[in-house]
Amino acid sequence: MTKEIKKYKYLIVGGGMAADQAVAGIRSIDKEGTIGIISSDTDEPYARPALSKKLWVDPDFHDEDIDFHTAQKYDAWIKLATKVTKVNPKKHTIETDNGEEFEYDKLLLATGSEAKTLKGENSERVIALRSKQDYLKIRKFSGKGKHVIVVGNGYIGSEIAAGLIQSDTKVSLVITGDRIFDKKFPIFLSEKYEEKYLKAGIKIYHNKKASSYDLVGDEVKVQLNDGTVLQGAGLVLGIGAFTDYSLASEAGLKVDEHGVVVNEQLKTSVSDIWAAGDIISYPDQILGRQSAGHVRHAINSGLFVGKQMAGVTGTYNYTPVFYSWVFDINWEAFGQVNSSLKMYAETLGDDKYIVYYFDKQTLVGILSWNSDVHLEHLKEILKKRPTIEELDRVINLRAVE
Ligand SMILES: Cc1cc2nc3c(=O)[nH]c(=O)nc-3n(C[C@H](O)[C@H](O)[C@H](O)COP(=O)(O)OP(=O)(O)OC[C@H]3O[C@@H](n4cnc5c(N)ncnc54)[C@H](O)[C@@H]3O)c2cc1C
């Protein structure tokens, strides 16, 4: 690993999924240029999605297996537990929360997202899951028949609930909807989700909200909006993420409603500064300008931006796919996947479906449920933006609610 110096050819703010791949991208082109990474995390880059999935269900897979060893692998320098507080584009410097200053030739912002939390005193027993240390803390208060409360109707809440029950933990899952993922999937698929959770022994509290918690001795107490009180050894929150753009906006970079604005090369509005991963507002070739808080986007944009910074010129053309797997359910999706849209299902075989989402007459999103259909093929369909009638001519569609 390179030593600490005061000026780097490539300086990366953030040490997550996009940063790891950006370093790989830089090194695939430039074997010599100095690379520095400054991260507020206490751990080097690691495979974040495993925190709610594989680490809970594969006994031969351990937390050290998720480490990327980025700095060592690519001869970069990394500084951990350090927050970048200011970017000075004119001076080509950044400042950190411990008062240090570093100079750059080319800067990458890859600061990702943070998990939302609820009102309550900070505790090692209340975790809004985002980092490896969060995962390790959950391990401490779960297992061996302990009761853990999970709040959230998104993929993190549903995955960690499934992971915990498969690790000998009693789980209460609090969701805002009628069924798990009812805001995304048609009823017949969200019912399939529910079945798996109920069969596994998870107690689900439907149409409920938790807004705060209290610490009671060694336990956490959560009061739901209907007065129900849940108490357990710990509380895990999967209630969404937010992105802090202040570093970019205070440095004068253009930010819009989606994030830090970048062009097709993932360059920001300020010279010598690029951005990648969750924080960017980028022009997607199929979906238009958007942001995407998904890991494959972080990986692809990171790798792409690293190469750009090292001198390659290209166009970012990856349309992000998001995915989840729990129990024996495996799905991938892209575009708008929202059950308030018109939905049509194609049955491909036993428990294998494609769901097409239409906004009025136009195809806007696709969900692939347990199917083996190549996603690039589905992306090609979305690219053509067929109407319901046009798609129905070639695929046997069934309207679903
Ligand atoms: C538990 C979990 C499971 C997930 N599962 C999936 C999944 O199945 N599928 C999917 O598509 N996506 C999933 N995601 C989302 C995916 O992990 C993210 O989209 C991806 O990690 C984003 O990469 P990133 O590099 O942009 O940000 P991150 O990986 O969040 O990394 C950001 C880094 O920046 C650092 N940082 C932030 N601010 C500063 C600062 N000012 N100074 C220095 N460092 C800073 C942080 O400490 C962190 O190291 C999951 C996320 C979590 C938390």
Superfamily of 116-237 according to CATH: FAD/NAD(P)-binding domain (3.50.50.60)
Looking from the CA of residue 301, the nearest atom of ligand 1 is 26
Looking from the CA of residue 51, the nearest atom of ligand 1 is 1
Tell me the average pLDDT across 216-230: 95
- From the CA of 297, how far away is ligand 1's center (Å)? 11
Q: What is the dihedral of CA 176, 180, 182, 183, to 10 degrees?
A: 60
Residue type, 159: E
Give the model's pLDDT for residue 2: 67
Domain 7-49+67-113+243-309 matching CATH 3.90.105.10: the answer reads no
Cα(12)–Cα(83) distance, integer angstroms: 12
Residue type, 400: V
Superfamily of 328-396 according to CATH: FAD/NAD-linked reductase, C-terminal dimerisation domain (3.30.390.30)
Q: Does the pLDDT at position 231 exceed 90?
A: yes
Q: Does the pLDDT at position 220 exceed 70?
A: yes
pLDDT in tens, 239-285: 999 999 999 999 999 999 999 999 999 999 999 999 999 999 999 99
Give Cα separations from 205 to 15, 143, 159, 191, 223 (angstroms).
36, 21, 16, 15, 12
- From the CA of 305, how far away is ligand 1's center (Å)? 16
Same CATH fold assignment for domains 7-49+67-113+243-309 and 116-237: yes
Cα(271)–Cα(107) distance, integer angstroms: 9
Give the model's pLDDT for residue 316: 97
Residue 94: phi and psi, rounded to 5, are -130, 155
Give Cα separations from 369 to 121, 323, 344 (angstroms).
40, 10, 13
Cα(242)–Cα(40) distance, integer angstroms: 16
Residue 384 parent element (H or E): helix 375-384
Please provide the size of the chain in residues.
401
Task: Give nearest CA residue, ligand 1 atom 38.
Answer: 111
pLDDT in tens, 297-307: 999 999 999 99
Two tokens, residue 31: 């074997």
Give residues (CB < 6 A) around ligand 1.
Answer: 13-19, 38-41, 48-49, 51-52, 83-84, 110-113, 129-130, 155-156, 247, 277-278, 293-296, 298, 322-324
Packed helices 187-200 and 155-165: angle between N→C axes, nearest 10 degrees: 30
Two tokens, residue 165: 């029950």
Tell me the average pLDDT across 338-346: 97
Is residue 173 within 8 A of residue 228, CB to CB? The reply is no
Q: Does the pLDDT at position 126 exceed 70?
A: yes
Task: Give nearest CA residue, ligand 1 atom 37.
Answer: 111
Give Cα separations from 297 to 96, 98, 127, 334 (angstroms).
27, 31, 25, 11
pLDDT in tens, 209-218: 998 999 999 9
How does residue 4 score in pLDDT terms, banded at 50, 70 and 90? confident
Is residue 120 within 8 A of residue 215, CB to CB? The reply is yes
Cα(22)–Cα(276) distance, integer angstroms: 9
Average pLDDT of the residues of the chain: 96
Pocket mutation for ligand 1, best pick of 13, 21, 39 (most atoms within 8 Å of C-beta) = 39
Pocket mutation for ligand 1, best pick of 249, 295, 334 (most atoms within 8 Å of C-beta) = 295
Strand partners, 284: 288
Give the model's pLDDT for residue 1: 57
